[in-house]
Amino acid sequence: MELENKRESKVISKNIDVFYGDKQALFGIDLEIYKNEVTALIGPSGCGKSTFLRCINRMNDVIDICKITGEIEIDNFNIYKPDVDVVRLREKVGMVFQKPNPFPKSIYDNIAYGPSIHGIAKDKNEMDHIVETSLQKAALWNEVKDRLHEPGTGLSGGQQQRLCIARAISINPEIILMDEPCSALDPIATAKIEELIDSLKRSFTIVIVTHSMSQAARVSQRTGFFHLGKLIEMGETEKIFKNPNNTMTQDYITGRFG
């Protein structure tokens, strides 16, 4: 367990409100995400977890009816300032979704796509290197190194998800957002992703939305509980699952929510 005072803030959310048209989805979210840690967001369906996650890389910008107020600071810099380069931001904050969504391209091209549009690799050699290290970091290299030019969609679900993680890693992000990355996977594939998440936190800051309480307990250092668009409680994962402060948190995680 790292000590509180050694922790460094990576993301700070300050009074974030989100509206979809007239409907408010998030209410004054204040929270802090620490560098090189895994933060889990839990809560009942529709409570705003994905909405909050999308605030961190401004993915909500692409939803026309979505309005956001408040600030999100990454490394003490407000990403909602008018002049922010959103493409640069998304380079810094990668995302992995619930359903593995490889491009209909080869395994190699799935990884190479990002670095090439962001102009990260100088030449073929460098690109090969990025592809290899990304797949290695995503614990997929050994399984695919002999079939790099086969389609990514031909992999198993768990492999596809690791491919998507490799793709997210390939552009050297600092933060990786994961929205229920294991919900379509079997226990073995889930265990591999969880193992991977644990090793990735050395290089990245990870925020994961999950419906599995035991997954949140296993992979994260801190957990935030959302309910009806509000952050009800945020704290050390161990504390949340052993002795939460809030009865709503307790009711939800113990399965007492009506």
Partner 1 sequence: MSDEHIVKSYDEELQHLNDSLVQMGSLTEKLLYDSMNAITTVDKDAVSKIVESDAKINKFRSSIDQHIMTILVKRSPVAIDLRYAISTLKISQDLERIGDLAKGNAKKILPLPDDLPPEMLKRIESLGEMVQKQLKSTLDCFIEKSVQKSLDTIKSDEQVNDLATASIKEVLEFLSKDKKNLDFATNLLFVCKNLERAGDHLSRICQNVHYLIEGDYPQK
Ligand X SMILES: Nc1ncnc2c1ncn2[C@@H]1O[C@H](COP(=O)(O)OP(=O)(O)OP(=O)(O)O)[C@@H](O)[C@H]1O
> Which one, 43 or 102, has the nearer CB to ligand X?
43
> Which one, 41 or 135, has the nearer CB to Mg ion?
41
> By CB under 8 A, is residue 242 in contact with partner 1?
yes
> By CB under 8 A, is residue 241 in contact with partner 1?
yes
Q: What is the DSSP letter of 59?
A: G
- Region of 31-39, 121-129, 162-170, 235-243 interacting with partner 1 (CB under 8 A): 235-243
Footprint of ligand X on 17-36 (CB under 6 A): 20, 25
Q: C-alpha 27: how far from its chain's center? A: 21
**Please, what is the minimum distance in Å from the beta carbon of residue 21 to ligand X?**
7
Nearest to 77 by CA among 169, 7, 174, 168: 174
Catalogue the E-assigned strands of the chain: 9-20, 23-34, 38-42, 66-74, 77-78, 93-96, 175-179, 205-209, 222-227, 230-236
CA distance 61 to 50: 14
Footprint of ligand X on 197-226 (CB under 6 A): none
Sheet holding 205-209, edge to edge: 93-96, 175-179, 205-209, 38-42, 222-227, 230-236
Among 10, 49, 137, 218, indicate the residue that binds ligand X (CB under 6 A): 49
Pairing mode, strands 222-227 and 205-209: unpaired
> By CB under 8 A, is residue 247 in contact with partner 1?
yes
Footprint of partner 1 on 179-218 (CB under 8 A): 213-214, 217
- Region of 6-14, 30-38, 41-49, 166-174 interacting with ligand X (CB under 6 A): 41-49
The set of residues, in sequence order, having a beta carbon less than 8 Å from that of 183 and lying 6+ positions away, is 98, 210, 211, 212
The residues of the shown chain that bind ligand X, judged by CB under 6 A, are: 20, 25, 43, 45-51, 63
The residues of the shown chain that bind partner 1, judged by CB under 8 A, are: 213-214, 217, 240-244, 247, 249-251, 253-258
